[in-house]
Amino acid sequence: MRIIFSRKGFDSQYGRVPSPILPDGSLLSFPIPSRYGRPLGDLECALGPVDKLASDLTKGAITEHSSVHLDPDLSASAVERKPGWRATLGQVGSAQRHLANQSVGPGDVFLFFGWFRQTELAAGKLQYVRGAPDIHALFGWLQVGEVLEVGTFGCPAWLEDHPHVQHASVIGKNNTLYVAGDSLSGMRDRVPAAGTFRNWGPSLQLTAPGHTRSIWRLPRWTLNDPSRPTLSYHPKPARWLAEQDHVTLQTVGKGQEFVIDVGECQDAAKWLQRLILDHGI
């Protein structure tokens, strides 16, 4: 099995503010502004229209009319759906070539992360909690059921409004979809193969406490051999510091898809399953 740490949502270039950790403990990743998308006013979350929350936090720079790229598309309730809908991630260009070169396919698991900050409601508006840190945090997962190259298959109706299908002629080369399976493999009980994390807790935080968001604290199994790191884009041992029960990693400045082949590692499988059971269900 491969685990892919996949960077998505608002960042310092697209959106320019952190996505919110909501007062109810759920994480809402704001889709990046893009002409290859749909109006933000189409989207809903547990607290209501997403555009209202984005407008509050961007001081009106992002509105209901802003076009956004809803990808990964993980929540069935985000917009109106056609029968048969399944969670899907699209990827193109060099990022897709990297995934292909890493042989990412059915059974592998994307863990989506982004730039987040704690928020609160004040006088009916969402605002960032004063002094809350900027962090990288996990906000969702998708275990791949099938990989589809756009333009080479008969597109089902439920997939027609995905931005990588709707804008297929202009969105980029190597246009590929990663569609979730029916349920997460290796689990005794039926658990969704994709979803978003709720019930905020420290185990969803990638950023090492007290550090800038690019310095991560990861489970010890991510670095079996300190002389030969295997997380893609991070092969230099100098980026890693091994501790007894965890590792600290200085992440690269750019990059969307960081892949690690964990093989049959039981520590990795148990960590992944516990993460989803604790925060995703």
Task: Give the C-alpha distances (Å, rounded to integers) separating 103 from 1, 116, 221, 230.
Answer: 10, 30, 21, 14
Residues in CB range of 65: below 8 A, 6 or more apart: 39, 40, 41
* pLDDT for residue 141: 98
Q: Which helix (H) or strand (E) holds 141?
A: strand 135-149
What is the DSSP secondary-structure string of 155-184? --GGGTTSHHHHTTTTS-SS-EEEEE-SB-
pLDDT 10s digits, 34-70: 999 999 999 999 888 999 999 999 999 999 999 999 9
Which runs of consecutive H residues, i.e. helices, occur in 157-281? 163-166, 266-279
Among 208, 181, 195, which Cα is nearest to 26's?
A: 195
Distance, CA of 179 to CA of 149 (rounded, Å): 11
Distance, CA of 39 to CA of 50 (rounded, Å): 11
* pLDDT for residue 188: 72
* pLDDT for residue 58: 96
For CA atoms 177, 30, 93, 261, give the dihedral sign. negative
pTM: 0.97
Distance, CA of 72 to CA of 70 (rounded, Å): 6
pLDDT 10s digits, 217-229: 999 999 999 999 9
Mean pLDDT by runs of 10 across the 281 residues of the chain is 97 91 94 95 92 96 96 95 97 97 98 98 96 97 97 93 96 96 86 94 97 97 95 97 95 92 95 94 69
* pLDDT for residue 14: 85
* pLDDT for residue 186: 81
